[in-house]
Amino acid sequence: MLKSALSLFLVCCLLGRLDCTELTVKRGANAILQCSGHRDATEIMIRWDKPELQSEEYLFFFRDGQFQEELQHELFKGRVELKDPDWKKTGNFSVILKHVTPNDAGTYECHAGYEGQESELLSSLILKVEKPELTVKRGANAILQCSGHRDATEIMISWDKPELQSKGYLFFFKDGHFQEELQHELFKGRVELKDPDWKKTGNFSVILKHVTPNDAGTYECHAGYKGQRPELLSSLILKVEKPELSVKQGADAILQCSGHRDADVIMISWDKPELQSKGYLLFFKDGQFQEELQHELFKDRVELKDPNWKETGNFSVILKHVTTNDAGTYECHAGYKGQRPELLSSLILKVEKPGQTEEQKKDGGNEGEEKEEEGKEHGHTGLIGGLVVAAVLLFAAAAVFVYFYKRRNSRTQYHGPQRQEEVEAEINV
């Protein structure tokens, strides 16, 4: 049924019969599902449905002059109303879907039938619900939010991380008990319900403790009531901030990484992804450092910080005599007992050049160059200004000379020859 509905949607779009609309809203907001039909119609039937539910119940059903509440799907009870009170006159059959949840995402269709005629498809759209993002620092606790029905009985709650592609959960509650055996190894001892009275309040949020880079990803919360099929209540994206380490050029950098203590560690690797090569910062496997796998840039410059790293789980390394070429992102992975290696740490290394000011560190060291260029500009401006002033003074002096010269000639022509002493006296005035 879902495939046929989607096929019909695509065919209608291609034929130009429908607006191929996508509507994206935030979780908890209201969504307006648009649909237009004939104005001032009589004996009308309006139906809004969601084909993928594969049910005979609807988002909204109006027939025989009344809203057919008994035909509304349980998911939409108390959350849908017609947008326009004068919809019969205006032909606006749009509806408002309130308090949108991730479970509301999907395709919706609007049908209408007039005066006993066969109903026709008027509108089809895809509703998308934005996943909220939660960003936390490595080592902090993350609160994953989820809300469901209050005072519910016979309840099942599951939190999972789809990209793990395994049967293990972040958290699984069923038959009145937390199902520890169903919890994924990554989350052992690190997850608890936030609200002790969650059954009364319907708050199914969980606390994920001591977050690592490996925890980043999408999480989903499902709940099932009284044997019903579980429904998706919440979906979010967890992001883990990469810590930044700043060191001076020529100094040593300690790249931090922690794993399980007293574990049978099979493999440890430190790499720099932007190198895009098979060479590592450090690679340890089968009880030995694999020197042939080390990148040329790091030869003789890397060692494990803790000699007792197997017992302590401290996989931190010391990168010696740091250069500007070492700046970038570094990742630490570890594999245990033949398991797939997991990401334990990710950080950004920044290298400070000698003589850099705080502003230059922020601006990438360009401030000095900018000031130098600014000084050059001021120098050029001063030179040009000086030349202009000199030109003006020279022009003024020339004008004064010409003025007195003409005056002298004029007097000589008008009064006749003068004595030399009188001419000199006038010039000196």
Residue range 83-106: average pLDDT? Answer: 92
Structural domains of the chain, with CATH: 2-130 (2.60.40.10), 133-241 (2.60.40.10), 244-363 (2.60.40.10), 398-429 (no CATH)
Between 187 and 357, name the one with better pLDDT.
187
- What proportion of the chain, given as a percentage, has pLDDT over 70? 78
d(CA 221, CA 341): 26
d(CA 194, CA 214): 22
d(CA 348, CA 241): 10
d(CA 42, CA 113): 10
**Residue 356 pLDDT:** 64
Judge contact between 92 and 77, C-beta under 8 A.
Answer: no
d(CA 324, CA 330): 14
The pLDDT tens digits for 406-427 are 444 443 343 333 333 332 333 2
The pLDDT tens digits for 218-239 are 999 999 988 788 888 889 999 9
The pLDDT tens digits for 162-174 are 999 887 999 999 9
Q: What are phi and psi of 372, to 5 degrees?
A: -65, -45
Helices (H), 81-185: 87-90
Between 370 and 289, name the one with better pLDDT.
289
**Residue 364 pLDDT:** 43
Confidence band (pLDDT; 50, 70, 90) for 141? very high
| 346 bridge partner residues | 331
The kind and range of the H/E element at 157 are strand 155-160
Tell whether pTM > 0.85.
no
Between 266 and 75, name the one with better pLDDT.
75
Helices (H), 344-418: 358-363, 367-415
Residue 301 has pLDDT above 60, yes or no: yes
**Residue 42 pLDDT:** 78
- What proportion of the chain, given as a percentage, has pLDDT over 90? 51
From residue 275, give the alpha-carbon distance in Å to each of 193, 279, 298, 305: 42, 8, 12, 23
Single-letter amino acid, residue 4: S
Cα radius of gyration (the chain): 39
Judge contact between 267 and 344, C-beta under 8 A.
Answer: no
Confidence band (pLDDT; 50, 70, 90) for 103? confident
Q: Average model confidence (pLDDT) for the chain?
A: 81
Q: Which residue is it, tokens 């003409």?
A: 406
**Residue 359 pLDDT:** 59
**Residue 4 pLDDT:** 42
Please state which of the ranges 91-95, 111-115, 180-184 shows the lowest mean pLDDT: 111-115
Residue 303 has pLDDT above 90, yes or no: yes
Residue 79 has pLDDT above 90, yes or no: yes
Please state which of the ranges 13-22, 375-384, 395-404 shows the lowest mean pLDDT: 375-384
Tokens of 41: 């119609």
Residue 3 has pLDDT above 60, yes or no: no
Q: Which of 277, 284, 262, 138 minimizes the C-alpha distance to 211?
A: 138
Length, in residues, of the chain: 429
**Residue 386 pLDDT:** 56
Between 53 and 377, name the one with better pLDDT.
53
The pLDDT tens digits for 188-209 are 999 999 999 998 999 999 999 9
From residue 75, give the alpha-carbon distance in Å to each of 79, 140, 227, 230, 262: 9, 35, 16, 12, 50
Residue range 91-103: average pLDDT? Answer: 93
**Residue 391 pLDDT:** 59
